Amino acid sequence: MGLHDHQEYFVSWEELHRATRELARRQLPAEQWRGIIAVSRGGLVPAAIIARELNIRLVESACVRSYAHQEQSAEPELLNELTATKDGEGFLVIDDLVDTGNTLRFLRKRLPKAKFITVYAKPEGMPLVDEYEGEVEQATWIHFPWDMHLHYVDPLAGEDR
Ligand SMILES: O=P(O)(O)OC[C@H]1O[C@H](OP(=O)(O)OP(=O)(O)O)[C@H](O)[C@@H]1O
Ligand SMILES: Nc1nc2[nH]cnc2c(=O)[nH]1
Ligand SMILES: [Mg+2]
């Protein structure tokens, strides 16, 4: 594997807001939705933006603990009980991204009738999501604005002369 096989993609608040609003626009008309299920934690901010755009007030979170990065074989775990819906009918399930698809594959068993949408998608997870806004290569790591901090960077030319 070469040095450039692993890339990074830094998402600003403005870009996240723009992409999420675009995803919201594609969920119109809003009347078809009974509510939103935000996949906590990454889906919380996108879900808030979409709830605002579609004027949806029923927002529940699905708190998923994923072990994908430590133990490949372990199943994700749902830390709370979902009370808003039995099968997800009329609900949007919203996450920030789909990568391997493990999180959404797990949630689809509980919410087979929901529509699953994410702001970003990597190829392996695409079959698990009904709609997404941005496409990112499998080997690219996405950095979301809530995980970052603005900081000083040295000029390319170095010291003043
Ligand atoms: O498609 P997958 O391979 O399952 O990966 C995608 C999931 O991974 C991240 O969540 P994470 O489990 O890191 O937890 P967090 O949202 O609480 O940060 C992201 O927010 C998605 O939910
Ligand atoms: N922040 C972040 N979390 C992830 N979880 C799985 N893939 C990713 C990614 O690319 N970025
Ligand atoms: Mg998550």
Burial 35-59 (b: 16+ CB within 10 A, else e): bbbbbbebbbbbbebbbebbebeeb
Asked whether residue 161 carries a pLDDT value surpassing 90, the answer given is: no
Q: 139 and 100 in contact (C-beta within 8 Å)? A: no
pLDDT digit string, tens, across residues 73-94: 678 999 999 999 999 999 999 9
Residue 4 is predicted with a pLDDT of 62
Smallest CA-to-CA distance from 117 within 147, 108, 138 is with 108
For the whole model, what pTM was predicted? 0.93
Closest atom of ligand 1 to 39 CA is 22
Residue 64: what are its φ and ψ, rounded to 5°? Answer: -105, 130
What distance in angstroms lies between residue 47's CA and the mean position of ligand 2's atoms? 17
Q: Is the CB of 11 under 6 A from ligand 2?
A: no
Residue 63: count other Cβ atoms within 10 Å of its Cβ: 14
Distance (Å, rounded) from C-alpha 97 to C-alpha 39?
A: 10
Sketch the domain layout of the chain as residue ranges: 9-66+76-147
Residue 158 is predicted with a pLDDT of 79
Give 9-66+76-147's CATH code, choosing from 3.20.20.70, 3.40.50.2020, 3.30.1360.10, 3.30.43.10.
Answer: 3.40.50.2020
User: Best of 44, 103, 126, 146 to mutate for ligand 1, by most ligand atoms within 8 A of CB?
Assistant: 103
What distance in angstroms lies between residue 103's CA and the mean position of ligand 1's atoms? 7
Checking ipTM against 0.85, whether it exceeds it is yes
Q: 43 and 36 in contact (C-beta within 8 Å)? A: no
